[in-house]
Amino acid sequence: MPKSSKILLKYFLVLAILFLVIFNWGYISWFFNYHTIGDNMQYLVAKTIGQNNISVYFSNMPEWSNLSSTANGTSLETLPLTEQAVRPVSLEGLTGHLTIPSIGADAPIMFTDSKSQSVFASLLKKGVLHFPDSALPDQLGTTIILGHSSPPNWPKINYDSIFNRLEDLAPEDKIIIDFEGKKYQYTVQQTYFVNKGDDLSSYLTFNKSMLLLVSCWPPGHNSKRIVVKAELNNK
């Protein structure tokens, strides 16, 4: 190859790499930020070996297959028929979408019957996740939605950062869930910070429709949990 052609090829490769960096800066900028590269590498390792799972524990969760069960002293079978929890045989195939305007969060809600952490991890790449033992938005009880959080400069891919700004939610902020073609609007009540593995049953409500958003805390770490509690607005 002539020397002039080699020089042109080098210039072309340099320009190609430069344009690649520019157009993908949002995905790779974290690599060049020495302030956060430690957190990002730690998060990457944890993500790779499966240590960033959003495990949650509830000791008092109702069995939806048994409407005569009681929780917090409320017997589900005594509720009016229009308020009883009508549970589909399977959650697979249900559709939903979560929007939180005040923090710019917008994601599809994934549904599963499985409680496997590997299934959770796979679905959380596609959006946020409805915890399978919790109520659905059209039922009495507490709907629980899990979502990832990641280091501040982590690339915005696979919904890894969808719940990064939960801490910024304030009382009276709105959370909107579109579930099976119907809209449900919730009002934020309070935010809690708890240790990983703590029993979250005390945050559950069974005689009205509530919502819990749960993520790892602080963003990019898996030592604690942030829990945002919200109540369904009156229709």
Per-residue pLDDT reduced to its tens digit, 191-204: 999 999 999 999 99
Chain-wide mean pLDDT for the chain?
Answer: 81
Domain annotation covers residue 223: yes
- CB neighbour list of residue 224: distance below 8 Å, 6 or more residues apart: 193, 194, 195, 196, 216, 217, 218
Over range 30-35, report the average pLDDT: 58
Does 234 have pLDDT greater than 90? no
Q: Reply yes or no: is the peptide bond before residue 2 cis, omega within 30 of 0.
A: no
Domain annotation covers residue 216: yes
Local confidence band at 75 (pLDDT 50, 70, 90 cut-offs): very low
Q: What pLDDT, on the 0 to 100 scale, is given for residue 78?
A: 37
Domain annotation covers residue 147: yes
Could you give the percent of the chain with pLDDT greater than 90?
Answer: 47
**DSSP per-residue codes, the chain:** --HHHHHHHHHHHHHHHHHHHHHTHHHHGGGG-TTTHHHHHHHHHHHHTT------B-S----TT-TT-EETTEEGGGS-GGGS----S--TT--EEEEEGGGTEEEEEE--S---HHHHHHHTTSSEEE-TTSPPTTSSEEEEEE-----TTS-S-TTTTTTTTGGG--TT-EEEEEETTEEEEEEEEEEEEEETT-B-GGG--SSSEEEEEEEEESTT--SEEEEEEEEEPP-
Region of residue 154 (phi > 0: left; psi between -120 and 50: alpha; otherwise: beta): beta
pLDDT tens digits for range 206-215: 889 999 999 9
Local confidence band at 21 (pLDDT 50, 70, 90 cut-offs): low
Q: What pLDDT, on the 0 to 100 scale, is given for residue 132?
A: 92
Domain annotation covers residue 40: no
Does 157 have pLDDT greater than 70? yes
Local confidence band at 46 (pLDDT 50, 70, 90 cut-offs): low
Q: What pLDDT, on the 0 to 100 scale, is given for residue 47?
A: 62
Write out the residue range of the structural domain in which residue 151 sits: 54-232
CATH number of domain containing 211:
2.40.260.10
The more confidently predicted of residues 55 and 204 is: 204
Q: What pLDDT, on the 0 to 100 scale, is given for residue 155?
A: 72
Domain annotation covers residue 137: yes
Domain annotation covers residue 48: no
Residues 122, 128, 130, 136: is their CA dihedral positive or negative? negative
Q: What pLDDT, on the 0 to 100 scale, is given for residue 112?
A: 95
Q: What's the number of domains the chain is made of? A: 1
CB 118 within 8 A of CB 52: no
Name the residue type at position 40: N
Local confidence band at 86 (pLDDT 50, 70, 90 cut-offs): low
Domain annotation covers residue 65: yes
Domain annotation covers residue 186: yes
Rounded Cα distance between 63 and 222, Å, is 28
